[in-house]
Amino acid sequence: MTLLRHEASTSRVEALAASDPFVVEIDALQYETLSEGPCITAVRELRTVRTGSLGGEKMWPRFGPRVGRLGVHSALSLPLKLPGKVVGAINAYAREKDAFHETAAEFGEAFAQPAAVALHNAHVLAEALRLTETLQTALARRPVIDQAIGVLRARSGLTADEAFDRLREISHREHIKVVDVARQVVDSAVGRARDQHLPSTGSDDAAE
């Protein structure tokens, strides 16, 4: 049994879970080596695919005999469907011929419906978490970059876009992250300002 995730935008299929390492080999053969097989047909045609004699299957003239020689003769591929798209597939393989009856496909389809929803929800959550992390990182970096842009504009009269381009140029040239360049610009400006405005010890004494 393998569970695959299908990326509709790129047509990429990724095997993410398998009940036995042996079936991973079959899926690799199907997706990476031959680009044909029951699961590919199931995903492309949005239908359950069931076969009981892979070795003699004319639909997959390269995949069938190869897997048949491995001693696997039956396959049941169930697309994980949501309205308008396929989010993955469940594949079951068996060594014996005609292992999966029509009713096995019906049970598989009944299970595939909630499985598709669960998989889609997990994918949406993973994407949301990734986006949140990216935005949090951007938010944390933004203030110091804005401050550096202000410093550069005050020094040279650049526009905000020109100042940001200047930061990026330095980042590229020095192989330093933009946020680190910005931090250096701000720290340098603050350091100079403090040096200029520090009251001297002598004048303080005199004032007292």
Site residues, another protein (CB under 8 A): 1-3, 5, 16-20, 22-23, 26, 72, 74, 76, 88, 90, 92-96, 99-104, 107-108, 110-111, 114-115, 118-119, 121-123, 125-126
| Cβ at position 62, least distance to another protein in Å | 19
> Which residue do the tokens 């697309």 mark?
79
Of 88, 74, 72, which is closest to residue 8 (Cα–Cα)? 88
| Cβ at position 47, least distance to another protein in Å | 17
| Cβ at position 87, least distance to another protein in Å | 11
Which residue's CB is nearer to another protein, number 24 or number 34?
24
| Cβ at position 74, least distance to another protein in Å | 7
Which residue's CB is nearer to another protein, number 93 or number 164?
93
Which residue's CB is nearer to another protein, number 17 or number 135?
17
| Cβ at position 46, least distance to another protein in Å | 19
Which residue's CB is nearer to another protein, number 53 or number 156?
53
Which residue's CB is nearer to another protein, number 45 or number 127?
127
Which residue's CB is nearer to another protein, number 2 or number 41?
2
Output 55-63 pairs: Cβ under 8 A, ≥24 positions apart: 60/34, 60/36, 61/36, 62/34, 62/36, 63/29, 63/30, 63/34, 63/36, 63/37
